[in-house]
Amino acid sequence: MAIAIAVILLVIGSVLFHFLSPWYFTPLASNWDTIDLTVDITFWVTGVVFVLVNLFMAYAIIRYRHRKGLKADYEPENKKLEWWLTAITTVGVVAMLAPGLVVWAEFVTVPEDAGEFEAVAQQWQWSFRFPGDDGVMGQSAVRLMTIENPFGLDPEDENGLDDVLVFGNEVHLPVGKPMKALLRSKDVLHNFAVPQFRVKMDLVPGLVTYLWFEPTKAGRFDLLCEEYCGLAHHTMRGDVVIEEQADFDIWLAAQPTFADTLAIPVADATAGQALYAPCAACHGMQGEGNLALNAPKLSGQEGWYLRRQLNNYKNGRRGTDPADMFGAQMAAMAGTLPNAAAVNNVIAYIQTLPDLPAAATISGDVDRGESLYLTCAACHGRDAMGIWSVSAPRQAGMSDWYLATQLRNFRSGLRGTHPQDGYGEQMASMSMMLLDDAAINDVLAYINTLPVDDKPRQVAILEQ
């Protein structure tokens, strides 16, 4: 008896939950209202079955629960009833399947007037490409991918030179225009999903997959990777900004073309030496760092990382929080580098400095640090020498006290909160696994035990 009542209550509760709970689809922001319709149809059909069958079962239990003298019927089968039920079920199935297939046919057929863009996924970042003025995207290949050419575009391919490249996790799209997303992955499986657009598709290395949608609402939407792609899967975020065509055109025009990225002048280390003089005051003549002045070691750090951080400081993505005193100092100093060429030159000079391992200042439980570092190693490498393709800088042989400060800054929100600092956001998210200073020290103590290898690495971003 109790079970029948429980079933009835669960049915009522489920239906109430469906209608009353605040958790349901996000407001639709694309043309795919038909998908929502198919979901609604399915909810109605299955909902009716759910309620009817369960209530019938509960009724049967109440009515035919064992009492003295009750005897069950003997009815091996009832052909007519069974065929009727089969027929009704078939009708219900067709009612769900038919509209579903119609909408799927729409999904697989991209409208002819759709614009195109490419979303490129890699562990654990997004980047994007637009076809440029000729409307055709150039060829790409994995073997062409380098620090200078992360998209792997073929410089020989005329069609590719005017392709507009979007470095970073944010893409803009015009409202009211159907867009076909070509999906390409550099390494493992990923998935392109914006909940408000309803559609999603995996990105598969070796294939170009696609989906299409027409944004109908201006705004900023989260782009998620929804296919498990390794340790930092949950931090693989992007932004899709939907805006009016005119704003979109302005944004697109501000992005470099592939030809632009090929034309960056060779950096001049000699010119960089002069620019480095003010840096040396804190970071040391050899870039060896200075704990007393809170200036970390620079020598041996990857060029692409130095450039990104200098640009972050210059563009107000880092060192803006008043509580981050040293960051604010550095932001001011970075501002004195007048332009991109100056940044490149000073980095070129830093890369000529001798790379001597920084002295260890932090101790902790090395064994615990080692097991914690397993997670860090996914990006920073087992040798902690950094991996350019996942944008993770070197840690081994660098100033450990600085790393500790930065880990605390990431945890407390002093760093990695700026919306344009996607990598910082990732690190902030991952740093949450180090719950306290002891954990931070353990990891750094482990990193201090790692030998600094001096095998030649792809350090240079600018020496071409």
Smallest separation (angstroms) from other proteins to the CB of 375: 5
> What strands lie across the sheet with 219-224, from one edge to the other?
170-174, 237-243, 219-224, 190-193, 200-203
Q: Could you give the angle at which helices 400-412 and 437-449 cross, rounded to 10 degrees?
A: 150
Smallest separation (angstroms) from other proteins to the CB of 282: 30
In terms of C-beta density within 10 A (0-12 exposed, 13-18 middle, 19 or more buried), how is residue 339 classed? exposed
Q: Which of residues 71-90 bind other proteins (CB under 8 A)?
A: 71-78, 81-82, 85-86, 89-90
Q: Which of residues 47-66 bind other proteins (CB under 8 A)?
A: 49-50, 53-54, 56-57, 60-61, 64-66
User: Collapsing DSSP states into helix, strand and coil, what is residue 122?
Assistant: strand
Over the window 307 to 346, marking each residue x when it contacts other proteins by CB under 8 A and - when it does not, the resulting string is ----------------------------------------
Q: Does 15 bind other proteins (CB under 8 A)?
A: no
Q: Which of residues 405-444 bind other proteins (CB under 8 A)?
A: 425, 429-430, 432-433, 435-436, 439
Q: Does 42 bind other proteins (CB under 8 A)?
A: yes
Q: Does 44 bind other proteins (CB under 8 A)?
A: no
The CB density around residue 274, as the number of other CB atoms within 10 Å, is 12
Among 5, 15, 16, 97, binds other proteins (CB under 8 A): 97
The CB density around residue 421, as the number of other CB atoms within 10 Å, is 21
Q: Which stretch binds other proteins (CB under 8 A): 5-13, 126-134, 335-343, 349-357?
A: 5-13
Over the window 98 to 137, marking each residue x when it contacts other proteins by CB under 8 A and - when it does not, the resulting string is --xx-xxx-xx-------------xx--------------
Q: Which of 276, 336, 340 is nearest to 307 (CA)?
A: 340
Among 230, 256, 284, 357, binds other proteins (CB under 8 A): 230
Q: Which of residues 199-218 bind other proteins (CB under 8 A)?
A: 199-207, 209
The CB density around residue 239, as the number of other CB atoms within 10 Å, is 18
Among 133, 134, 156, 222, binds other proteins (CB under 8 A): 222
Cis check: omega of the bond before 124, within 30 degrees of 0: yes
Strand partners, 221: 240
**Encoded tokens for 415:** 């760093």
Q: Does 142 bind other proteins (CB under 8 A)?
A: yes
Smallest separation (angstroms) from other proteins to the CB of 273: 29
Smallest separation (angstroms) from other proteins to the CB of 79: 9
Q: Does 241 bind other proteins (CB under 8 A)?
A: no
Smallest separation (angstroms) from other proteins to the CB of 203: 7
Contact predicate 103/31, CB 8 Å: no
Q: Which of residues 349-408 bind other proteins (CB under 8 A)?
A: 372, 374-375, 378-379, 381, 387-390
Q: Which of residues 145-184 bind other proteins (CB under 8 A)?
A: 145, 152, 183
- How would DSSP label each residue in 349-392? HHTTS--PPPPP-----HHHHHHHHHHHHHHH-TTSS-BGGGTB
> What strands lie across the sheet with 164-166, from one edge to the other?
164-166, 125-130, 115-122, 179-185, 208-213
Smallest separation (angstroms) from other proteins to the CB of 105: 8
Smallest separation (angstroms) from other proteins to the CB of 280: 30
Smallest separation (angstroms) from other proteins to the CB of 44: 12
| Pick 203 or 447: Cβ nearer other proteins | 203
Among 195, 256, 284, 357, binds other proteins (CB under 8 A): 195
User: Which residue reads 């979303």 in tokens?
Assistant: 119
Q: Which of 282, 265, 420 is nearest to 342 (CA)?
A: 265
Among 135, 158, 228, 293, binds other proteins (CB under 8 A): 228
Q: Which of residues 442-461 bind other proteins (CB under 8 A)?
A: 458
Contact predicate 15/47, CB 8 Å: yes
- How would DSSP label each residue in 396-454? TTS-HHHHHHHHHHHHHTSSS-STT-HHHHHHHHHHTT--SHHHHHHHHHHHHHS----
| Pick 201 or 242: Cβ nearer other proteins | 201
Q: For strands 179-185 and 208-213, give the pairing.
A: antiparallel
| Pick 221 or 276: Cβ nearer other proteins | 221
Query: How many residues sit close enough to other proteins to count as binding (CB under 8 A)?
Result: 118
